[in-house]
Amino acid sequence: MRRSKIALILPAAVVCAIAWQRPQESAPSAPPDRVSDAFAAGWMLSDTNGDGIADSIAGKIVVPAHPSEAENAAAADLAGRAGFGSTGLTLPLVVNAAADTADGPRIWVGKDAVPAARSQELLPLLQLLEKDEGGVFAVGDNLAVVGTDDNGLLAAAEAYSARAPYQWRINGDKLSAIVDAARAAASEAHSRLIGVSYMRGQPGIRRAFLDGRTAVTAAALGIAVGSAHLAAVHELVVLGGASAVNRKPFAPGPTAPVPAATAQPGGEGAGGSQPPRLDLATLYTSHG
């Protein structure tokens, strides 16, 4: 009888011990990667009915309280790209920082549009930019598009709104390949893409910035930036750490030809043909 009681008590004690164990605290998850694909459904763009097509814009493009002409132009580029990626939207899409009191995804245009609570997070990246250079940077769960001057700001807004999620060539290597190349070169790296910069008048990405959560050597960065999948990236930088320059010059190549319009009677040009027109549908669809 005594043995049977012990046999019943021991399993119960084990179960209680397991039940009262303190759960292990999981490591804090890294912030989401907004830089690689800001215009995919799930953040700025939303698929409200689950049919796989973005049909709403959940966030806003924010300009400073007193925006400059360049800041307004940059905001228009980004708003146009967001609008093209969705079948519906609620105006206004661009708002003034002084009147921006709601929550939700934000793309801040210009350093003065960034809330004071987040400006210190942006400052180390902003200080790295050179003349005529602008960047798109992750700030918290949002993005900031900034430049040292108007040329840099417009270079970043124009290139990013026209080409993301691709590095440069449409349907070429994507921005997400930057982190993949870094991890392939340094298996211990757990880096995240926190920014890309563009230089006025220069094709390709001037610099791609990775966070410094894991130390990556200059040699590993050199291998990564030399990858064929990073041909459009001039320099790879770990914030607060090493950097490496791509020794191979980037050749953007010819732009894909636009199909000629069908000839119309009495049209302009030789043989009555119409001049070729740019069709946005050849660049982007509702799926990106």
Could you tell me the CATH number of the domain that includes residue 92? Answer: 3.30.379.10
| Contact between residue 145 and residue 153 where contact means Cβ atoms under 8 Å apart | yes
Give the pLDDT score at 263.
43
49 and 141 part of one domain: yes
161 and 172 part of one domain: no
Please tell me which residue, 78 or 26, carries the higher pLDDT value: 78
Q: How many domains does the chain have?
A: 2
Please state, in angstroms and rounded to a whole number, the distance separating the CA atoms of residues 145 and 127: 14
Single residue among 114, 137, 165 that ends a domain in this structure: 165
Is 161 a residue whose pLDDT tops 90?
Answer: yes
Does residue 279 lie within any of the structural domains?
Answer: no
pTM: 0.78
138 and 227 part of one domain: no
Does residue 5 lie within any of the structural domains?
Answer: no
Q: Which domain holds residue 191?
A: 167-251
Give the pLDDT score at 256.
47
Is 115 a residue whose pLDDT tops 90?
Answer: yes
144 and 206 part of one domain: no
122 and 38 part of one domain: yes
Give the pLDDT score at 249.
82
66 and 117 part of one domain: yes
Give the pLDDT score at 33.
84
Does residue 217 lie within any of the structural domains?
Answer: yes
Count how many Cα atoms sit within 13 Å of the Cα of residue 21 in the half-sphere of its side chain.
9
Report residue 277's pLDDT band, with 50, 70 and 90 as the boundaries: low
Give Cα 165 to chain centroid, integer Å: 7
Is 31 a residue whose pLDDT tops 80?
Answer: no
89 and 193 part of one domain: no
Give the pLDDT score at 186.
83
Does residue 140 lie within any of the structural domains?
Answer: yes
112 and 177 part of one domain: no
| Cβ count within 10 A of residue 16 | 10
Segment 40-46 shows an average pLDDT of: 93
45: region left, alpha or beta (phi > 0 left; psi from -120 to 50 alpha):
beta
Q: Of 67-76, 176-185, 268-277, give the range with the top mean pLDDT.
A: 67-76
Does residue 272 lie within any of the structural domains?
Answer: no
193 and 155 part of one domain: no
DSSP 54-115: --EE-SEEEE-SS--HHHHHHHHHHHHHHHHT-S---S--EEEGGG--S-S-EEEESGGGS-
Nearest to 75, CA basis, from 196, 160, 138: 160
Mark 96-123 as b/e (b = at least 16 C-beta within 10 Å): ebeebeeeebbbbbbbbbbeeeebeebe
Please tell me which residue, 25 or 86, carries the higher pLDDT value: 86
Q: What percent of the chain has pLDDT over 70?
A: 76
Single residue among 104, 139, 165 that ends a domain in this structure: 165
Does residue 67 lie within any of the structural domains?
Answer: yes
236 and 133 part of one domain: no
52 and 138 part of one domain: yes
Cis peptide leading into 92, omega within 30 of 0? yes
151 and 189 part of one domain: no
